[in-house]
Structures are given as C-alpha cells and as structure tokens.
Amino acid sequence: MADTASISCKDLTYSYTGGFGPALSGVSFEAGQGEYLGVVGPNGGGKSTLVRLLNGLLAADSGRVRVAGFDPATEPFEVRRRAGVLFQNPDNGLVAPFVEDDVAFGLENLGVERAEMRGRVGEAIRAVGLSGYERREPHTLSGGEKQRVALAGLLAVGPEVLLLDEPTAMLDPPGRREVLERVRGLRRSRTVLHVTHHLEELFDADRVLVLNGGRLVADAPPEELFSDADLLRENRLVLPTVPRLAVDLGLPFCRTPEELADAVEKRSRDNSGVEAR
C-alpha cells in the first residue's frame, strides 16, 4: 500500500544503549501532506529522539517509520533530500564563509547544476527575507538571521517535510518572531513537524502531539489541548500567559492580549448590563 501521508509512524519503539528505559515506546501517528504538527512535552519526553528517528540519525528498535514514502533507517539519503531538519543551535549548522555558499551547500551535495543552483539559492534566501545578505559572513549575523540562513539551506533543497527541533530555543524575542513568521509562511506548502517548549508557537498548528516518558499521550488540536488543565499539568506543560489568564477568568480561549482585552471588556459590559436590568 502506498503511503499518502508525509510522515507515518506505527508502534515506534527506541531505547538508547545504557538508558533507563525506552526513550520512545509504541508511538503511532500520521501527518498528511501540508499538515502542521506541533510536538511538546517535558525534557526527556522523547521529542528529540522522534526527530532523530524521522531523519535516520537513529534506527528504531521496532515499529515502522515512513517519511515522504521512505524508511529513514534503510534509505536515509532519500529521506534527507525530502525532509530537512532545523536544529536548536544555529551556530552548529552553518559551515560556509558566506551566506549564499551556506545555502547552496545542500544542493552541492546533491550535484545540482550551477545555473539551477543559483536560482534555487536566490529563491530560498528571498523566502526567508534575507535578500541582500548573500555575501554576508554567517558569524556576523544575529541568532534569528542565522536560523533563517539555516532554514534557507533546507528550503533550497526543496523538501516535502520540515522537522523543526526547538528552532527558537536560543533566540531572543525578535529573533523568535522572525523565524516563526518565516516558518508560518510555509504552511500548507510543506509538512511541518515543530518541536517546542513554547506552546504559544503552536496556536495555529493543525494538531499537537504530547510526548511524555516516551509515550504519545495526546494528539489533539491546540484549542482542545490548551483547555485541558489536567492533561497540561500531567505533562508539565504551562499554558502561555494570555490563554492562562483567559482560563482563570472563565473566558473563552484567547491568543493575543488584544483578544483577551476585548473579551474582558465584553464580559464586564454584559455584567453591568445584567445589573442595570
């Protein structure tokens, strides 16, 4: 049977040598083409292990993995040209003296013709909003800019799937916003699996997976997950400030300060209206 899903995992189990127990155990889920999936959970929950299994850095002990139709354990190169990974630390991934060389690095390894490479590199650099940065040296860039260079390097290869492993963890708030904005711009055109500790980055995700102790304990749309106080607590997840205020005030789910201020205003007017009658 052909896999139509971009990512599909069935009963995935993996233990590190010398680990206390399985890092992942019986994990099953699918991501359809163009879906945006968040992955959250406590440190040690299995999030990074999942990413490594998906791009073939690790091979599962048992279970079945397919990424863009290929098994990452047996055909890692087929998977890696179709699924790019953006890691936490931008300094670890940038290798070339200039931005454009860095973005071209993946294409060089694939043996892409020079003329085509030029076009794809330029396009990828535009897609992350760094036109004009082609001849800048990566070490002179801010953290957010470096992560966007790394993202451009992935986009140039044209992957079907993007695996984002806490790509904003080491960035300041403006850097985070820059990277997230570019990632959001890719919605629907790629399948995205986004690992993060920041739930507010997943407000617009199609679904959010919760991994805890190596098990998939929830697979739900963000609104559903964020309104389940028990589930959040059990998985050491803390609701971001704005929706948390909304919950504590008995108001519906709110994403932004403005939405919450509107809801507060409306509720207090309703309340005073009740009294006037």
Residues that bind other proteins (CB under 8 A): 20, 41-44, 88, 142-144, 166, 169-175, 197, 199, 236-238, 240-242, 244-245, 248-249, 257-258, 260-261, 264-265, 267-269, 271-272, 274-275
Q: How far is CA 95 from CA 41, 59, 104, 144, in A?
A: 31, 26, 11, 17
Does residue 162 contact residue 84 with C-beta atoms inside 8 Å? Answer: yes
Which residue's structure tokens are 């959970």? 41
Does residue 46 contact residue 29 with C-beta atoms inside 8 Å? Answer: no
Interatomic CA distance for residues 10 and 213, integer angstroms: 17
Q: State how beta strands 161-165 and 36-40 pair.
A: unpaired
Give 138 or 159: the residue with its C-beta nearer to other proteins.
138
Give 276's contacts (C-beta < 8 A, 6+ positions apart). Answer: none
Give 25 or 235: the residue with its C-beta nearer to other proteins.
235
As given in the structure block, the two tokens for residue 66 are 């397919």
Give 113 or 270: the residue with its C-beta nearer to other proteins.
270
Nearest distance from C-beta of residue 275 to other proteins, angstroms: 6
Nearest distance from C-beta of residue 19 to other proteins, angstroms: 9
Give 204 or 258: the residue with its C-beta nearer to other proteins.
258
Give 116 or 265: the residue with its C-beta nearer to other proteins.
265
Nearest distance from C-beta of residue 224 to other proteins, angstroms: 19
Max CA distance (Å), the chain:
76
Q: State how beta strands 83-86 and 7-14 pair.
A: unpaired
Nearest distance from C-beta of residue 270 to other proteins, angstroms: 9
Nearest distance from C-beta of residue 129 to other proteins, angstroms: 17
Give 110 or 261: the residue with its C-beta nearer to other proteins.
261
Interatomic CA distance for residues 20 and 22, integer angstroms: 7
Interatomic CA distance for residues 74 and 266, integer angstroms: 57
Nearest distance from C-beta of residue 48 to other proteins, angstroms: 10
As given in the structure block, the two tokens for residue 51 are 């990413």
